[in-house]
A = this chain, B = another copy of it.
Amino acid sequence: MDYETPQFFRVMRYAREADRDVVDMVSGNPDWDPPSALREGLKAYADSPTEAFQYPPSVGLRDLREEIATRRGVATGQVLVTNGAGEANHLAMAAGLEAFPGAEVLLVDPVYPYYPGRASLLGADVSFVPTEVDGQLDAEAVRECASAETAVIVVNTPNNPLGTTYDETTMAALVDVAEARDALLVSDEVYDHFDYGGRFSSALAVDSPNRVVTNSFSKSMAITGWRVGYAVFPPRDGPSGDLFDRARTRHMLTTVTGSRPAQAAVLAALRETGPGYYERNRERLRERIEVFTAALDAAGAEFTRPDGGFYVMARFPDFAGSMENVERLVDEAGVAGMPGAAFGDSRADWLRFALVTPRVATAAERLADYFE
């Protein structure tokens, strides 16, 4: 996989330069508004005294860490605020590779392409466990693929690109695999506010020194460009208490700390935004999933119905998920998706569509017409 010049950019450019109207279903940028308290929080911060514009603690604003800790039911000292979930995943992987034996990062195929990129940057070997046909992850398959060489296992639930969520039993079994293999489970849960079936279960539900949970406000507050994320590490006085310190040191020496205006506004939004905001966003996506999967049915496509997240993967009859076909779909149907090969080998015949556009219904119609 070529993670250095992500194929995202290539497809987005092709769609932008197309000679016709194209519905962009490539990027994962939410198209709805952030909480209004976030905008107000940023304005209030802009009027702060100059002290509030200087370095926050490297690990993040104290009040923000406390707010996150309370919501997640962990100690404040376990929470490291990062430059988005991207940095949280990088730090968690790096800490796991340092602290646990072995040099391998075990990933799930299909995979969010940044994970293998990050593992390679850190000099790790990368292996993949394929998902089941229905997109679910079989913890026993992970157990078989993991070895003494495995230092880190990374999962993403709700999942990008599949839209699957892992239930409590699966998460507990994954933590158990990490413990049995003396490895670290990194559970990236950035889509946790987009759980449609109530099936999602955070890895935090299982107490263990062998798991780190990463998250961010990029998707839940529709602010992918603000870069406020966090990682929850095992308690610092426990068996893996060094993980937090390792991550904090790397964070300090690479980025020093995260941007304070964004942290301050996210804190205000966390405090003042009720559950209605998140429920409205879920409801909007539920409707889009209905419309889009109905069109996939009409087009005779094979697909996994998402029970979480923003994405649908689908395979159309006699239409491989290649870059050539992605470009053909842009030109001939006016819909831009991502080639499955961008997410690994196992779904190279599939295409991924992101449902974060108000024009999902238009795209659905176009696809149904094109393949009918």
Contact = CB atoms under 8 A, between A and B. Distances in A.
A143 interface: no
A218 to B, nearest CB: 8
Nearest to A41: B46
A194 interface: no
B222 A121 contact: no
Nearest to A254: B90
Contacts of A6: 252
Given A42-B45, A46-B42, A253-B3, A261 B54 contact: no
A30 B226 CA distance: 24
Interface residues of A, number: 55
Contacts of A86: 254-256
A53 B258 CA distance: 16
B256 A259 contact: no
Contacts of A52: 225
A46 B53 CA distance: 17
Given A225-B53, A226-B261, A255 B43 contact: no
Nearest to A47: B39
Nearest to A87: B255
Given A3-B253, A42-B45, A258 B32 contact: no
Nearest to A29: B54
A118 B225 CA distance: 26
A250 interface: yes
A113 B227 CA distance: 27
Nearest to A120: B253
Interface string A211-239: 00000000000111111100000000000
Contacts of A277: none
A215 to B, nearest CB: 15
A305 to B, nearest CB: 26
Given A55-B29, A121-B250, A227 B42 contact: no
Interface string A252-274: 11111111111001000000000
A42 B261 contact: yes
Contacts of A249: 4, 121
Contacts of A34: 50, 53
A255 B88 CA distance: 8
A291 to B, nearest CB: 21
Contacts of A117: 252-253
Contact of A258 (B55, B223, B254, B259): B259
A259 B83 contact: yes
A300 interface: no
A83 B256 CA distance: 8
Nearest to A84: B256
Contact of A260 (B114, B226, B256): B226
Contact of A225 (B39, B56, B114): B56
B53 A255 contact: no
A86 B255 CA distance: 6
Contacts of A224: 53-55
A290 interface: no
Interface string A170-195: 00000000000000000000000000
B265 A261 contact: yes
Interface in A44-99: 45-47, 50-56, 83-84, 86-87, 90
Given A4-B245, A27-B54, A261-B262, 11 more contacts: A34-B50, A39-B46, A42-B42, A42-B45, A54-B223, A83-B256, A87-B256, A114-B256, A225-B259, A226-B259, A227-B257
